[in-house]
Amino acid sequence: MNEDHADAVLLYAQAFGTLTEATAAQMLAIDAQGMDLTAQVNGEATPVRIQFDHVLADAEDAHQTLIAMAKQARVQAKA
């Protein structure tokens, strides 16, 4: 996730973690309730927990939820 989708992970931190000044982010863990990230804000690592809007049922649900969140974050970033 971190290597292939670094831009999406950063968007998650900015949009859902309210770390609008983050310049980079990495996903540390994901579970059925949310994901744990670390974001670079003003040169410092900042931990952030992002809760999902529902409990994930399985890997496919996680995949689709992350895609939907990335799309939503891109829309928010343009607003």
Tens of pLDDT, residue by residue over 20-44, are: 999 999 999 999 999 999 999 999 9
**pLDDT over 90 (residue 78):** no
**Does some domain include residue 1?**
no
pTM of the model: 0.90
**Does some domain include residue 69?**
no
Q: Please state the domain count of the chain.
A: 1
pLDDT grade, residue 6 (50/70/90)?
confident
Write down the pLDDT at residue 2. Answer: 65
DSSP letters for 8-58: HHHHHHHHTS--TTEEEEEEEEE-SSEEEEEEEETTEEEEEEEE-SS---S
Sign of the CA dihedral running 63, 65, 67, 73: negative
Summarised one tens digit per residue, pLDDT across range 58-68 is: 999 999 999 99
Angle at 8 between CA 60 and CA 53, to 5 degrees: 55
**Does some domain include residue 38?**
yes
**Does some domain include residue 25?**
yes
**Does some domain include residue 43?**
yes
